[in-house]
Amino acid sequence: MLSQTKSNILYIKQRYYMILHIPHSSTDTLDYKFLHKERELLRMTDHYTDDLYGCADAKRVVFELSRLVCDVERFQDDEQEPMSRFGMGVCYTKNSEGNKLRVVTDANKEYIISNYYIPHHHELSSAVDDELAHSTKALIIDCHSFPDKAYRFNNDFNQKRPDICIGTDSYHTPKGLLEETKKYFLSKGYVVQVNKPYSGSIVPMKHYKKDKRVLSIMIEINRKLYMDEHGFKTEHYEDLKEEIHELLIHLNHLY
């Protein structure tokens, strides 16, 4: 009995109650060659999001390669992916200005999908399954940042952007989850928009539109709040990090 009790205590300490999906924080491009690589990494990376989004009671699913190599938040099939028309499907071939970034052959793409894209999505799906096996819900926080000025391929090009964008899914984002998240950021004095300039929130295809127990919400932070145009952290970085941590703990307790 004592041994069983110790085992249960150990398990409780290791339980996760939230899944932090962090897909675009890495600048690792392996040996792949890109034109104007450093500029595109500065522009396209969700810098420091692997540090900004933190919560002790959370499972972190972090993609360890740059989105320039493989964007795990795109649909695998270019025919299903709207951004593929800009050369920014699962494997980018054009840069943020619409110019050539690299050449991707069919064999290159197949290798990248098999070795990076599919394993990442398997990890996310497994994290959700693990949570559902021991809880009534699985909460995914899709963790992102975005530039203060939109690029030409963005729908809001030349428009003023908010401090915070919250992305939702009509099936997997409960109204209460959205309202709590929005209310928190508004209480901190931030300008908040919902599904503008970005919309949606990731859910594994295994569970998408099939399992109401899987909750998901995307949080996008304007990079001007924590870094300068050269990629260096500003004085507000630590304050913002603490605010995000406070929000994640709050949502963790609610869901």
pLDDT single digits (tens) 17-37:
899 999 999 999 999 999 999
pLDDT number for residue 43? 97
Place 15 in a pLDDT band, splitting at 50, 70 and 90: low
5 located within any domain: no
Residue 80 has pLDDT above 80, yes or no: yes
Q: For 38-63, write each residue's pLDDT tens digit.
A: 999 999 999 999 999 999 889 999 99
The answer to the question of residue 220 being in a domain is yes
Report d(CA 29, CA 45) in Å as an integer: 11
Strand stretches in 4-125, DSSP E: 19-22, 59-62
Whether 4 maps to a domain, the answer reads: no
222 class by beta-carbon count within 10 Å (0-12 exposed, 13-18 middle, 19+ buried): middle
In a domain, residue 3? The reply is no
Q: What is the CA radius of gyration of the chain?
A: 19
**Any alpha helices (H) in 60-200, and if so which ranges?**
106-112, 118-134, 175-187
- Looking at residue 127, the DSSP 8-state letter turns out to be H
Q: Is the pLDDT of residue 8 over 60?
A: no
Percentage with pLDDT > 70 across the chain: 94
Q: CATH number of the domain that 206 lies in?
A: 3.40.630.40
113, part of any domain: yes
Q: Is residue 202 part of a domain?
A: yes
What residues make up the domain containing 130? 15-254
For the stretch 146-190, pLDDT in tens is 999 999 889 889 899 999 999 999 999 999 999 999 999 999 999
**Average pLDDT score, the chain:** 93
Position 1 in a domain = no
Strands of the chain (E only): list them. 19-22, 59-62, 138-146, 164-167, 192-194, 214-222
How many independent structural domains does the chain possess? 1
